[in-house]
Amino acid sequence: MSLSTKTYPSLSTNTYPPLEQLLEQARRRIEVTAPELAEARTRRSEVAEILRNEFTGCRVYCNGSIAHGDALTPLVDVDLGIVIPDPGHRYGPGKRGPSELKERAAEALRTGLREKYGDLRIEVKGRKRSILIRFRDPLRPGWEDFTADVIVAIDNPYARGLYIPRWDSWDRSDPETHTSLVLDAIEKTDKTYSRTIRLLKHWARQYDKPALCSWHIKALALGCLTRPTSLLTALEIWFDYAIAELNQRDTPDPAHVGPDIKTPDNDRRAAIRRLEKARDTLHEAISLEQDGWGVLAHEALANFFGDPDMLPRPERAKVIGQHAARLRARRRPDHRAAAAVALVPARPAVRSWAP
């Protein structure tokens, strides 16, 4: 989506607060709103109810950004799955594929949603896994159409997890455990996990082809964001961990059921280069703040996200002025040290060990 279509609350650029405060302001600007969530959940519930009526005894699970607590604004899609009873074990690898179940679910959804949404479109053919519902009814005027991805699944009778569609056959997966792991991480980190994921997902959006999909970002975060931290620290931890992991291997399924999570086009080197470049920009911002150059740190953090609506850049005149001051300070180390002392707020002494 182009930046011109985004609408965020205003953010004053009269002052240049610490990077952590800038991140807090930025993540609030991209956080999904209560009205968006309410409408999306209403549509998700409508889809779920139709499927429950069609497949007696099924269970519905929710996944994706709403279920995981990291949805961004504007909210334009929702994800859910239905696990269909298969007491006769007629479906699964080496047996019947998912096409029959997907077509049946799609027809039920067409019939059940048409009265309210009219000219909606439901796509099945040519889709690897999900049924795609195009409501043709955006949540707000001027936004993209709102969609829903519906996965038709069956229980795996022989091992943990589910069988989910892969074209005309099946893959193993465990999306219910994925959601459980994410929610547990949010609780253990006092929401640092979900807030950091929001920032990372938005960072990835600046590229036409993100280095990692949203689930890949979350899966890597499950391995490194395990306690409450500041957002700035969490971003540092994630980038360092993600780069180290991808340098070794594809990312294992956190539920230890499905296949490894791969990078786009299975090109890990390209993904790593993108992550390294972003990490370097983030480290530059942190270093500038530590050295007392707050305006330049702000500029570097804005460069990191590449979205002036989400994180406005500082005034150009102030950036130029601090660049000049920094150049002068480099020629006079004593002046640079004095500038750093004057510009960085004093921090209380913290003991890193216990007696």
Q: Is residue 353 part of a domain?
A: no
**336/218 same-domain check:** yes
Q: Give the pLDDT confidence score for residue 333 in this predicted structure.
A: 60
Residues of the domain holding 135: 34-173
Give the count of domains, the chain.
2
- Within 10 Å of residue 309's Cβ, how many Cβ atoms? 16
Residue 348 belongs to some domain of the structure: no
Domain boundary among 173, 196, 211: 173
Residue 284 CB burial class (10 angstroms; 0-12, 13-18, ≥19):
middle
Per-residue pLDDT tens digits for 297-327: 999 999 999 999 999 999 999 999 999 999 9
One domain, residues 239 and 100: no
pTM of the model: 0.88
> What's the pLDDT at 332?
80
Distances (CA, A) of 191 to 22, 41, 195, 211, 220: 18, 21, 6, 24, 16
The answer to whether residues 156 and 246 belong to one domain is no
Tell me if 271 sits within 8 A of 211, measured CB to CB: yes
Residue closest to 191 by CA, chosen among 225, 157, 235: 225
Cα–Cα distance measured from residue 163 to residue 84, given in angstroms and rounded to the nearest whole number = 10
Q: What percent of the chain has pLDDT over 90?
A: 87
Quote the DSSP letter at residue 310: T
Q: Summarize the confidence of residues 8-25 as an average pLDDT.
A: 69
Same domain? 212 vs 338: yes
The pLDDT tens digits for 163-173 are: 999 999 999 99
8 Å CB contact between 271 and 263: yes
Mean pLDDT value across the chain: 91
Residues 226 and 299 in one domain: yes
- Tell whether 132 is covered by a domain: yes
**Quick check: 176 and 264 in contact, CB under 8 A?**
no
Identify whether residues 194 and 334 lie together within a single domain: yes
Based on the domain organization, do 309 and 322 belong to the same domain? yes
> Are 111 and 162 members of one domain?
yes
Q: Does 108 fall in a domain?
A: yes
Q: In this structure, what are the phi and psi dihedrals at residue 54, rounded to the nearest 5 degrees?
A: -80, -40
Q: Tens digits of per-residue pLDDT, 141-195?
A: 999 999 999 999 999 999 999 999 999 999 999 999 999 999 999 999 999 999 9
Tell me: do 190 and 293 sit in the same domain.
Answer: yes
How many helices (H) and strands (E) would you count in the chain? Answer: 12, 7
Domain boundary among 123, 146, 173: 173
The verdict on 58 and 145 lying in the same domain is: yes
In a domain, 272, yes or no: yes
What are the beta bridge partners of residue 72? 31
Give domain status of residue 355, yes or no.
Answer: no
List, for residues 122-143, the tens digit of each pLDDT value.
999 999 999 999 999 999 999 9
Choosing from 114, 143, 173, the residue where a domain stops is 173
Shared domain check, 138 and 45: yes
Q: State whether 337 and 226 are in the same domain.
A: yes
Dist. CA 322–CA 331, nearest whole Å: 14
* Residue 16, pLDDT score: 66
**261-299 pLDDT per residue, tens:** 999 999 999 999 999 999 999 999 999 999 999 999 999
CATH number at residue 121: 3.30.460.90
The pair phi, psi for residue 172, each rounded to 5°, is -85, 140
Q: What is the largest CA-CA distance in the chain?
A: 81
- Domain annotation covers residue 303: yes
CA distance 136 to 325: 54
For residue 349, being part of any structural domain is answered with: no
